[in-house]
Structure 1
Amino acid sequence: MINTLLLDAAFSKPTERPPVWMMRQAGRFMPQYWEIKNKYSFLEMCKTPEIAADVTMLPVDLLDVDAAILFSDILVTAEAMGGDLSFTQGIGPKFANPVRTLADIEKLETEVGDKLQYVADAIKVIQQRLNGKIPLIGFAGAPFTVMSYLVEGGSSKDFKLTKLMLHNEPGLAHRLLAKIATVTADYLNLQIAAGVNAVQIFDSWAQALSWDDYTEFSHRYITGIISKLNRKDIPVISFCKGSSVFAPLMAEAKPDVISIDWNVDLLDIKNRLPKEVAVQGNLDPHILYADKKVIKERIYRLFERMRGENGFIFNLGHGIMPDIPFDNVKYAVEVVKEFRY
């Protein structure tokens, strides 16, 4: 591989500068994304390997980032298990058959590799196009986050139904989480076998949980998933909203990298983690709305804070918002790539 910055940093090796990629880097802030999106539904884009490859390559070609991330969605596992999934513009994902009873849970399948073969096919197409230039990151949704969509039937502001299941029927919740975790581990191993160079687990809604509930209903399943991965030479990145609180616990699951939100000083959190655990983050994505001089100043402030630290990948504390100006994102990548320790 020509550019190994991301893999080196993920394994806490020295790098000449921080590698850069951004969550949601292939997405709605790009006019070129909309040229594709206006022709196909979101699920068609995910399920057609050539189109998924086209979208994955947009930030590689237009932003010159140090890693590509597979274009897909965290809910493809839930759909493969039997969820009736649709995406509506302005509303987001919906499951027409929410999972709320033992009977609903028992209907969910766990042998779903064949249904997710389109992801493996996309990975092969993307790797042909990347041709060893930069690493490709695969990913999956963490069990709690995927569970919340299945139980709520879509996005939620308060996760009321999900939390009711956790608190009133914990046995039911664990049955559902165990099934999702089995599928997730198999799915990530499918991606590794197909050729991804790193994987990230997204627990997008973990911040909805208390410490005890996170420990019982999220952390234990992520720990189990990571323990089952064929991870030789494949770094594992663990991300959750709430990582500024949960990072010390997340480290116990033995990921190589913890992706940190923007609510904490990055050096402080790194110093509280085991030496072998790298950090990723943690610029507030809202800074990318600001003037370019502010963007540069904030990135340099973060870099000066992390100077001398091995195991640091530059990223945002969460994904790029759809209305952030493309030029600002491009400028931020250029600023990172000009920097030298």
Structure 2
Amino acid sequence: MKNDLLIRAALSQPTERPPVWMMRQAGRFMKEYWEIKNKYSFLEMCKTPEIAADVTMLPIDLLGVDAAILFSDILVTAEAMGGDLSFEQGVGPRFANPVRNMQDAEKLDVDCLDRLQYVADAIKVIQQRLNGSVPLIGFAGAPFTILSYLVEGGSSKDFKLTKTLLNNQPELAHYMLQKIADVTIAYLNMQVDAGVNALQLFDSWALALSWNDYQEFSHQYNKYILSKLKRTVPVISFCKGSSVFAPLMAEANPDVVSIDWNADLLNIKKSLPEGIAVQGNLDPFVLYADKPVIKKKILDLFERMRGEDGFIFNLGHGIMPDIPFDNVKYAVELVKEFRY
């Protein structure tokens, strides 16, 4: 591979500078994304390998980041299991058949990998396009996050239905989580077989949980997944709430823990076991700021992390749709100019 910075950093090997990629790097802040999005529905984009490859390549071609991440969505596993998924403009994902009781949960199909074949096909097309230039990151949603969408029927501000389920019907929650975890293992291993160079597990809504509930309903399933993966590629574990949950996340034995912007990255790194890298953790809202501010915040982070192997530069979460493209490009260029 011509540029293996991300792989080396993920494996806590020395790098001459931090590798850079950003969550949601192929997204709505790019006019080129909209040129594609205006022709197709979101799910059509995910399910058509050539289109998924076109979108995946945008940040490689336009930003020059050090890694591509598969263009897809964390909810494709839930759809494959039987969720009636749609995406509404301005609303987000919707499941027309939310899971509210054991009868609903029993309908969730774990033997559904063939319905996700389009993802493996997209990976093969993307790798042909990348031609060994940079690594390709595959991903999946973590079980608790997927469960929350299935139970709520979409996005939620307070996760009231999900948390009521965890409290009143924990056995139903565990039944669902085990099913989702088994599908996730098969799905991620399929991505490894198809040719991804790294994996990321997204537990986007873990922040909704208390420490004890995170241990019971999230951590143990993430740990189970990581124990069953083909560990021929590095694995990154991400959740909103990682500044709190990082010690538990490390217990699941990922190669990298991705940290939100609420914590001091060096303090977290020092608290983790030797050999676990960190990814993060610039507040994405910094990218709305003037360029001198962006420069100072990134360089301050780099000074803090100077001398540390195992550091991947990223945001604490994804790029927002209205962040100026020029600011994102400027941030990437700053990182690429930096040297330890």
TM-score interval, normalised by the smaller of the two chains: over 0.9
Output the CA distance in 2 between the equivalents of 1:215 and 1:276.
23
The answer to whether 1:294 aligns with 2:293 is yes
The answer to whether 1:6 aligns with 2:1 is no
| 1:110-154 deviations in Å (ceiling 9; x for gaps) | 011110000000000000000000000000000000000000000
TM-score of the pair, normalised by structure 2: 1.00
Output the CA distance in 2 between the equivalents of 1:227 and 1:95.
30
| 1:206-241 deviations in Å (ceiling 9; x for gaps) | 000000000000000000000000012x00000000
1:48 counterpart letter in structure 2: T
The answer to whether 1:304 aligns with 2:303 is yes
| 1:270-311 deviations in Å (ceiling 9; x for gaps) | 000011100000000000000001101100000000000000
Output the CA distance in 2 between the equivalents of 1:169 and 1:88.
30
The answer to whether 1:205 aligns with 2:205 is yes
Output the CA distance in 2 between the equivalents of 1:222 and 1:177.
10
- What SS does the corresponding residue of 2:245 show, helix, strand or coil? helix
Shift of residue 22 of structure 1? 0.1
| 1:164-216 deviations in Å (ceiling 9; x for gaps) | 11000000000000000000011000000000000000000000000000000
Aligned to 2:338: 339
Output the CA distance in 2 between the equivalents of 1:169 and 1:261.
30
1:212 counterpart letter in structure 2: N
Runs of 4+ in 1 over 3 A off after TM superposition: none
Alignment of 1:215-294 (within 5 A): 215-232=215-232, 234-294=233-293
Structure 2 segments unaligned to the other structure (5+ residues)? none
Output the CA distance in 1 between the equivalents of 2:3 and 2:273.
26
Aligned to 2:88: 88
- Output the aligned Cα RMSD: 0.3
TM-score of the pair, normalised by structure 1: 0.99
Output the CA distance in 1 between the equivalents of 2:270 and 2:134.
29
Matched pairs, number: 340
Output the CA distance in 1 between the equivalents of 2:102 and 2:285.
42
The answer to whether 1:154 aligns with 2:157 is no
1:309 counterpart letter in structure 2: E
Output the CA distance in 1 between the equivalents of 2:275 and 2:132.
26
Output the CA distance in 1 between the equivalents of 2:114 and 2:92.
26
Shift of residue 242 of structure 1? 0.2
1:259 counterpart letter in structure 2: S
2:54 counterpart letter in structure 1: D
Once the two structures are aligned, what percentage of the paired residues are identical?
Answer: 79
Aligned to 2:114: 114
2:333 counterpart letter in structure 1: E
